[in-house]
Structure 1
Amino acid sequence: MPKKPALAAPSIDPLELHDLEEGDVARLEAHGMVDATRFEGGDVSGDDLSGLAFNDCELVGVTAHETQLRAARFVSTRIERMNAPVFTAARATVRDAEILRSRMGSMELYDTDWQNVVVSGSKLGFVNLRAARMRDVRIVGCTIDELDLSGAQLSRVAFEDCTVETLRLDGARLSNVDLRGLDMHVIAGVEGMRGATLSHEQTVLMAPLFAEHLGVRVDG
């Protein structure tokens, strides 16, 4: 029997930020560009910051409820302890970035690009990643109410010590996606799991779901 190829783990370089200037979130503007700046605290709730580009930045303890960040760019940027009951960043780019210890409720992140990203220690509500493209992403120690990956493309994505109440995978395309560290309560679009890796325990627990999807009757 041919040997199965090994699961490829996410390849992510550590994010290192040095010599950052102190900035004020009140001065941020739509379609602007910010380099090598640290923002601590402040509230941009309700502001229109569409197209804003952060490069080599750090945002710590910022409140961003209903802030419009459509097509924004977060490159070599760390977001820590952000509070955003509603977070809107459709078609954004997140690259070489970290999202740490944040609380975000409804997250509109459809059609976004993610590459070399770590999301850790965060509590998330409804996360809309429909049609997103995610490559080399680690999600660690997060609690998620609903994760919608319908139509998304994932490559080398791993979940570790995470819980999701509802996972949607309709039309998703997965390659080297490690779900062994994800406690999933409800799954929609089971056919989208092709390309994922599950633990033996997960496979046993999900056997009735797989049987139903295949139209197999289990008797006795």
Structure 2
Amino acid sequence: MSAEELVAAVRAGEPCTDLDLRGTELREVNLAGAQLRDCRFDDADMFGVRLDGAHITGGSLARADLRESDLTDAVLSGVDLSGARFAGAMLGDARFEGCRMIGTSLRGLRGLAASFRLVGCNLQVADMQELSLKGMRVEECDLSEADLRGADLRGVVFERCRLRGTVLRHARMAAADLRGCDLGEITPDTPRELAGAIVSPAQASAVCEALGLVVADQ
């Protein structure tokens, strides 16, 4: 199927399955409401593409250029988004479930709403610098070695997430709930990076130990 045939199918409300459009140019194409299953868009040029309200299940958008795209209300489940670029994308109430997002660039996202969700995603080494997730929920995600420098994480609930080696320098952490998260190795820099966050007694004890303090029962 060509890009033109894909657009025609989406306009007709037809679901698309097992398409191979790797490396295809789809700049500013209107795919709003698309239903895509197990399709391949690896390395595709999708700058400014409209995918608002789309349901994308399986398949791959690895290394795709999705800058300035519109994914408002889109649902992506089990999609490989490794290395994809979302700078300037409008994600609104988008939901990412079980997606592979290793090294994905999420800088400069626009229009994130309170119901934006990251659930069960692998975000290892993702670029999330200065991303604002204020008041949102991130569930069962692996953020190991992700770069969250300067991010606004105030009030974010991190539910059973992995934060091993996550870069949090200059991130705003007030009331960020990290209880139940795997914080990895605690270092003397950890207290400064987590200042204002909510942690469990066990996590607090580990932080104290890193500072050379002894926590006594009485």
TM-score by length of 2: 0.73
CA contact (8 A) 1:169 1:193 kept: no
Pair 1:205 & 2:198 matched: yes
Matches within 5 A, 1:161-176: 161-176=135-150
- Count of equivalent residues: 190
Match 1:104 to one of 62, 69, 76 = 76
Q: Which residue of 2 aligns with 1:136?
A: 108
Are 2:21 and 1:42 equivalent residues in the alignment? no
By how many angstroms is 1:132 displaced? 2.0
| Shift in CA distance, 212/128, structure 1 to aligned 2, threshold 3 Å | farther
Q: Which runs of 5+ in 2 are unaligned?
A: 178-195
CA distance in 1, matches of 2:72, 2:9: 15
Match of 2:185 in 1: none
| Of 121-130 and 138-147, the range deviating more from structure 2 | 138-147
Q: Which residue of 2 aligns with 1:31?
A: none
| Secondary structure in 2 matching 1:124 | strand
Letter in 2 for 1:167: C
CA distance in 2: counterparts of 1:42 and 1:172, whole angstroms: 37
Query: Which structure shows the bigger proportion of residues in strand conformation?
Result: 1
Corresponding residue for 2:45? 73
1:85 has 2:60 as partner: no
1:105 is aligned with what amino acid?
S
Deviations 1:170-212 (A, max 9, x none): 2222332222253211121343042332223534422544654
For the pair 1:126 / 2:98, whether they are aligned, the reply is yes
Task: Report deviation, 1:155.
Answer: 2.4
2:157 and 2:176 in contact (8 A); partners too: no
The residue that corresponds to 2:187 in the other structure is none
Asked if structure 2 preserves the Cα contact closer than 8 Å seen for 1:25 and 1:39, the reply is: no
Structure 1, gaps ≥5 residues long: 1-23, 29-33
Q: Which amino acid aligns with 2:199?
A: M
> CA 1:61/1:180 → structure 2, altered by over 3 Å: closer, same or farther?
same
Which structure's relative contact order is higher, taking Cα pairs within 8 Å and 6+ residues apart? 1
CA distance in 2, matches of 1:123, 1:55: 22
Percent identity, please.
16
Contact 2:145 2:164 survives alignment (8 Å):
no
Deviation, 1:160, is 4.6
Question: Is the CA contact 1:190–1:210 (under 8 Å) kept in the aligned structure 2?
Answer: no
Distance 1:111 1:215, change over 3 A: farther
- In 2, the alpha carbon distance for the partners of 1:197 and 1:94 equals 27
Q: Which string of whole-angstrom CA distances, capped at 9 and with x for unpartnered residues, describes residues 64-84 of structure 1?
A: 111111111221222111112
Residue by residue, what CA displacement relative to the aligned partner does 1:128-171 show, whole Å, maximum 9, x if unpaired?
21122332124432233223221122223122553221132222
Contact 1:26 1:42 in 2 (8 A): no
Q: What secondary structure, in the 3-state scheme, does the structure 1 residue paired with 2:18 have? A: coil
Instruction: Give the structure-1-normalised TM-score.
Output: 0.73
Residues 108, 213 of structure 1: CA spacing in aligned structure 2 closer, same or farther, 3 A cutoff?
A: farther
CA deviation map 1:28-85 (0-9, x unaligned): 4xxxxx9xx9953332211111112222222122111111111112212221111122
